[in-house]
Amino acid sequence: MGRRTQVSASILDSDLANLSRETRLAVKGGANRIHLDVMDGHFVPNITFGPTVIKRLRPATRRPFDAHLMISEPGRYMDQFIAAGCDSITFHVEVEEPIEPTLLKIRKAGVLAGLAIKPATPLSALAPYAELLDIVMVMTVEPGFGGQKFMYDAAAKIGPAHDVFRDRPGERPSAREVHVDGGVNRASSPTCGAGHAEVLVVGSLLWKKGNDIEREIRAIKALADEARKTRSAPAPAGVAG
Ligand code: DX5
Ligand code: ZN
Protein backbone atom coordinates (compact mmCIF):
# COMPACT_ATOMS: atom_id res chain seq x y z
CA MET A 1 0.00 0.00 0.00
CA GLY A 2 1.17 3.53 -0.56
CA ARG A 3 4.76 2.39 -0.65
CA ARG A 4 6.81 3.22 -3.70
CA THR A 5 8.83 0.60 -5.50
CA GLN A 6 12.45 0.45 -4.40
CA VAL A 7 15.41 -0.50 -6.56
CA SER A 8 18.27 -2.58 -5.21
CA ALA A 9 21.23 -2.19 -7.56
CA SER A 10 23.17 -5.39 -8.22
CA ILE A 11 26.85 -4.62 -8.72
CA LEU A 12 27.49 -8.09 -10.23
CA ASP A 13 28.07 -6.73 -13.72
CA SER A 14 29.65 -3.44 -12.70
CA ASP A 15 33.38 -2.66 -12.88
CA LEU A 16 34.44 -4.95 -10.03
CA ALA A 17 37.86 -3.31 -9.91
CA ASN A 18 36.13 -0.12 -8.77
CA LEU A 19 33.38 -1.40 -6.52
CA SER A 20 33.26 1.62 -4.22
CA ARG A 21 32.90 4.00 -7.12
CA GLU A 22 30.25 1.83 -8.79
CA THR A 23 28.28 1.56 -5.56
CA ARG A 24 28.28 5.33 -5.12
CA LEU A 25 27.25 5.80 -8.75
CA ALA A 26 24.27 3.50 -8.25
CA VAL A 27 23.21 5.37 -5.12
CA LYS A 28 23.63 8.72 -6.85
CA GLY A 29 21.48 7.35 -9.67
CA GLY A 30 18.62 6.62 -7.29
CA ALA A 31 19.27 3.08 -6.06
CA ASN A 32 17.64 2.68 -2.65
CA ARG A 33 19.93 -0.18 -1.71
CA ILE A 34 22.75 -2.36 -2.97
CA HIS A 35 22.27 -6.03 -3.92
CA LEU A 36 25.36 -8.19 -3.45
CA ASP A 37 25.45 -11.50 -5.36
CA VAL A 38 27.66 -14.03 -3.60
CA MET A 39 28.37 -17.19 -5.62
CA ASP A 40 30.50 -20.16 -4.63
CA GLY A 41 30.96 -22.06 -7.90
CA HIS A 42 29.02 -24.96 -6.35
CA PHE A 43 25.45 -23.89 -5.77
CA VAL A 44 25.71 -22.00 -9.07
CA PRO A 45 28.30 -22.34 -11.86
CA ASN A 46 29.94 -18.97 -11.18
CA ILE A 47 32.18 -17.46 -8.49
CA THR A 48 32.03 -13.85 -7.33
CA PHE A 49 33.05 -12.44 -3.95
CA GLY A 50 32.51 -13.13 -0.26
CA PRO A 51 32.14 -11.43 3.11
CA THR A 52 35.59 -9.84 3.07
CA VAL A 53 34.80 -7.83 -0.04
CA ILE A 54 31.40 -6.83 1.36
CA LYS A 55 33.04 -5.65 4.56
CA ARG A 56 35.54 -3.55 2.62
CA LEU A 57 32.75 -2.08 0.50
CA ARG A 58 30.55 -1.24 3.47
CA PRO A 59 31.87 2.32 3.99
CA ALA A 60 31.01 3.29 0.38
CA THR A 61 27.41 4.16 1.26
CA ARG A 62 24.93 4.30 4.12
CA ARG A 63 22.25 2.67 1.99
CA PRO A 64 21.23 -0.86 3.01
CA PHE A 65 23.23 -3.82 1.76
CA ASP A 66 21.15 -6.81 0.61
CA ALA A 67 23.30 -9.95 0.43
CA HIS A 68 22.01 -12.65 -1.93
CA LEU A 69 23.88 -15.83 -1.13
CA MET A 70 23.97 -18.37 -3.93
CA ILE A 71 26.12 -20.77 -1.94
CA SER A 72 25.66 -24.36 -0.81
CA GLU A 73 26.59 -23.82 2.84
CA PRO A 74 25.14 -20.52 4.03
CA GLY A 75 25.17 -21.71 7.65
CA ARG A 76 28.91 -22.24 7.63
CA TYR A 77 29.68 -18.65 6.62
CA MET A 78 26.79 -16.79 8.23
CA ASP A 79 28.75 -15.22 11.08
CA GLN A 80 31.06 -13.62 8.54
CA PHE A 81 28.22 -12.19 6.45
CA ILE A 82 26.59 -10.76 9.56
CA ALA A 83 29.89 -9.23 10.67
CA ALA A 84 30.41 -7.75 7.20
CA GLY A 85 27.59 -5.27 7.83
CA CYS A 86 24.77 -6.65 5.67
CA ASP A 87 21.32 -5.20 6.43
CA SER A 88 19.52 -8.18 4.94
CA ILE A 89 20.78 -11.65 4.16
CA THR A 90 18.91 -13.91 1.76
CA PHE A 91 19.93 -17.45 0.89
CA HIS A 92 18.29 -20.19 -1.14
CA VAL A 93 15.54 -22.50 0.07
CA GLU A 94 17.03 -25.16 -2.25
CA VAL A 95 20.19 -25.63 -0.13
CA GLU A 96 20.69 -29.12 1.25
CA GLU A 97 21.27 -28.23 4.90
CA PRO A 98 19.02 -27.17 7.78
CA ILE A 99 17.51 -23.76 7.02
CA GLU A 100 15.79 -22.78 10.23
CA PRO A 101 18.90 -22.39 12.46
CA THR A 102 20.49 -20.09 9.90
CA LEU A 103 17.37 -17.92 9.63
CA LEU A 104 17.22 -17.73 13.42
CA LYS A 105 20.87 -16.70 13.59
CA ILE A 106 20.32 -13.88 11.09
CA ARG A 107 17.28 -12.58 12.96
CA LYS A 108 19.02 -12.80 16.31
CA ALA A 109 21.72 -10.53 14.93
CA GLY A 110 19.08 -7.92 14.09
CA VAL A 111 19.50 -8.46 10.36
CA LEU A 112 16.56 -9.02 7.98
CA ALA A 113 16.34 -12.67 6.95
CA GLY A 114 15.25 -13.86 3.54
CA LEU A 115 14.86 -16.93 1.40
CA ALA A 116 15.22 -16.90 -2.37
CA ILE A 117 13.45 -19.35 -4.67
CA LYS A 118 14.61 -20.47 -8.09
CA PRO A 119 12.14 -20.20 -10.98
CA ALA A 120 11.08 -23.86 -10.79
CA THR A 121 10.65 -23.97 -7.01
CA PRO A 122 7.07 -23.55 -5.76
CA LEU A 123 6.21 -21.05 -3.02
CA SER A 124 5.04 -23.95 -0.88
CA ALA A 125 8.73 -24.73 -0.23
CA LEU A 126 8.82 -21.57 1.93
CA ALA A 127 5.85 -22.48 4.10
CA PRO A 128 7.84 -24.18 6.92
CA TYR A 129 9.82 -20.94 7.44
CA ALA A 130 6.92 -18.48 7.13
CA GLU A 131 7.35 -17.10 10.66
CA LEU A 132 11.06 -16.46 10.18
CA LEU A 133 11.00 -14.52 6.92
CA ASP A 134 11.39 -10.79 6.39
CA ILE A 135 12.13 -11.21 2.68
CA VAL A 136 11.00 -13.55 -0.06
CA MET A 137 13.19 -13.20 -3.14
CA VAL A 138 11.48 -14.42 -6.29
CA MET A 139 14.08 -15.34 -8.89
CA THR A 140 12.93 -14.55 -12.41
CA VAL A 141 16.09 -16.03 -13.99
CA GLU A 142 18.15 -19.11 -13.12
CA PRO A 143 20.64 -17.83 -10.54
CA GLY A 144 24.26 -17.52 -11.61
CA PHE A 145 24.59 -14.76 -14.16
CA GLY A 146 23.38 -11.27 -14.92
CA GLY A 147 21.91 -10.23 -18.24
CA GLN A 148 19.42 -13.09 -18.65
CA LYS A 149 15.84 -12.84 -19.87
CA PHE A 150 13.01 -12.27 -17.40
CA MET A 151 10.92 -15.43 -16.93
CA TYR A 152 7.28 -14.37 -16.87
CA ASP A 153 6.02 -17.73 -15.62
CA ALA A 154 8.24 -17.43 -12.54
CA ALA A 155 6.94 -13.88 -12.06
CA ALA A 156 3.48 -15.32 -11.41
CA LYS A 157 4.78 -16.05 -7.89
CA ILE A 158 5.36 -12.35 -7.05
CA GLY A 159 1.84 -11.50 -5.86
CA PRO A 160 1.19 -14.78 -4.02
CA ALA A 161 4.64 -14.53 -2.34
CA HIS A 162 3.11 -11.91 -0.03
CA ASP A 163 0.90 -14.61 1.45
CA VAL A 164 3.93 -16.56 2.68
CA PHE A 165 4.76 -14.20 5.56
CA ARG A 166 3.57 -14.91 9.09
CA ASP A 167 4.74 -12.88 12.05
CA ARG A 168 5.77 -14.71 15.18
CA PRO A 169 3.58 -13.92 18.16
CA GLY A 170 5.45 -11.61 20.53
CA GLU A 171 8.22 -10.80 18.07
CA ARG A 172 8.92 -7.71 15.98
CA PRO A 173 6.70 -7.71 12.90
CA SER A 174 8.30 -8.79 9.68
CA ALA A 175 9.38 -6.12 7.21
CA ARG A 176 7.48 -8.23 4.66
CA GLU A 177 9.34 -7.47 1.48
CA VAL A 178 9.09 -9.35 -1.78
CA HIS A 179 12.19 -8.83 -3.91
CA VAL A 180 12.26 -9.73 -7.61
CA ASP A 181 15.67 -10.69 -8.96
CA GLY A 182 16.68 -11.27 -12.57
CA GLY A 183 15.94 -9.67 -15.90
CA VAL A 184 14.22 -6.59 -14.51
CA ASN A 185 13.99 -3.85 -17.14
CA ARG A 186 11.44 -1.40 -18.49
CA ALA A 187 9.50 -4.18 -20.20
CA SER A 188 9.27 -6.45 -17.15
CA SER A 189 8.94 -3.89 -14.35
CA PRO A 190 5.15 -3.43 -14.81
CA THR A 191 4.71 -7.16 -14.15
CA CYS A 192 6.70 -6.77 -10.91
CA GLY A 193 4.66 -3.70 -9.93
CA ALA A 194 1.38 -5.47 -10.66
CA GLY A 195 2.48 -8.17 -8.21
CA HIS A 196 3.19 -5.40 -5.67
CA ALA A 197 6.85 -6.31 -5.32
CA GLU A 198 8.50 -4.01 -2.79
CA VAL A 199 12.03 -4.24 -4.19
CA LEU A 200 13.26 -4.75 -7.74
CA VAL A 201 16.82 -5.91 -8.25
CA VAL A 202 18.38 -4.25 -11.28
CA GLY A 203 21.77 -5.42 -12.48
CA SER A 204 23.37 -5.49 -15.91
CA LEU A 205 21.11 -2.79 -17.31
CA LEU A 206 22.74 -0.16 -15.09
CA TRP A 207 26.25 -0.96 -16.26
CA LYS A 208 25.68 -1.28 -19.99
CA LYS A 209 27.81 1.14 -21.93
CA GLY A 210 25.87 4.24 -22.86
CA ASN A 211 23.09 3.64 -20.32
CA ASP A 212 22.28 6.43 -17.89
CA ILE A 213 21.90 4.82 -14.45
CA GLU A 214 19.60 7.54 -13.15
CA ARG A 215 17.31 7.41 -16.16
CA GLU A 216 17.06 3.61 -16.06
CA ILE A 217 16.24 3.51 -12.35
CA ARG A 218 13.71 6.31 -12.63
CA ALA A 219 11.92 4.64 -15.56
CA ILE A 220 11.81 1.23 -13.91
CA LYS A 221 10.42 2.66 -10.67
CA ALA A 222 7.81 4.76 -12.47
CA LEU A 223 6.59 1.86 -14.61
CA ALA A 224 6.35 -0.44 -11.61
CA ASP A 225 4.55 2.19 -9.50
CA GLU A 226 2.08 2.82 -12.29
CA ALA A 227 1.23 -0.89 -12.59
CA ARG A 228 0.98 -1.16 -8.81
CA LYS A 229 -1.64 1.61 -8.77
CA THR A 230 -3.80 0.18 -11.48
CA ARG A 231 -3.87 -3.42 -10.34
CA SER A 232 -5.26 -4.29 -6.94
CA ALA A 233 -3.07 -5.55 -4.13
CA PRO A 234 -2.78 -9.27 -3.55
CA ALA A 235 -5.13 -10.55 -0.87
CA PRO A 236 -3.55 -10.31 2.59
CA ALA A 237 -2.44 -13.52 4.22
CA GLY A 238 -5.27 -15.57 5.63
CA VAL A 239 -7.95 -13.78 3.62
CA ALA A 240 -7.52 -15.45 0.26
CA GLY A 241 -9.67 -18.48 -0.48
C1 DX5 B 1 21.65 -13.54 -10.87
C2 DX5 B 1 21.74 -12.53 -9.78
C3 DX5 B 1 21.10 -11.24 -10.08
C4 DX5 B 1 21.70 -10.47 -11.23
C5 DX5 B 1 20.63 -9.62 -11.82
O6 DX5 B 1 22.00 -14.78 -10.38
O7 DX5 B 1 21.14 -13.03 -8.61
O8 DX5 B 1 21.06 -10.41 -8.93
O9 DX5 B 1 22.76 -9.65 -10.87
O10 DX5 B 1 21.15 -9.08 -12.97
P11 DX5 B 1 20.20 -8.71 -14.19
O12 DX5 B 1 19.41 -7.51 -13.76
O13 DX5 B 1 21.15 -8.42 -15.28
O14 DX5 B 1 19.33 -9.89 -14.47
ZN1 ZN C 1 20.86 -11.59 -6.97
181 is a catalytic site residue: yes
Let me know if residue 1 belongs to a domain.
no
Map 47-72 to HEC letters: ECCCHHHHHHHHHHCCCCEEEEEECC
Ligand 1: distance of its center to the CA of 183 in Å? 7
Instruction: Summarize pLDDT for 67-80 with one digit per residue, the tens.
Output: 999 999 999 999 99
Mean pLDDT of 71-99: 98
> Which residue type sits at 70?
M
Instruction: Summarize pLDDT for 127-160 with one digit per residue, the tens.
Output: 999 999 999 999 999 999 999 999 999 999 999 9
Let me know if residue 144 belongs to a domain.
yes
Pocket-testing residue among 70, 148, 185, 208, ligand 1, by greatest number of atoms within 8 A of Cβ: 148
Look at ligand 1, atom 6, and give the residue with the nearest C-alpha.
143
Let me know if residue 117 belongs to a domain.
yes
Q: State what percent of residues in the chain have pLDDT above 90.
A: 89
Q: Which atom of ligand 1 is nearest to the CA of 150?
A: 14
Q: What is the CATH number of the domain that holds 76?
A: 3.20.20.70
Q: State what percent of residues in the chain have pLDDT above 70.
A: 95
Let me know if residue 238 belongs to a domain.
no
Ligand 2: distance of its center to the CA of 241 in Å? 32
Domain that holds residue 135: 6-230
Q: Which residue has the higher pLDDT, 193 or 176?
A: 193
Name the band, by pLDDT with cuts 50, 70 and 90, for residue 172.
Answer: confident
37 is a catalytic site residue: yes
Contact 91, 77 (CB under 8 A): no
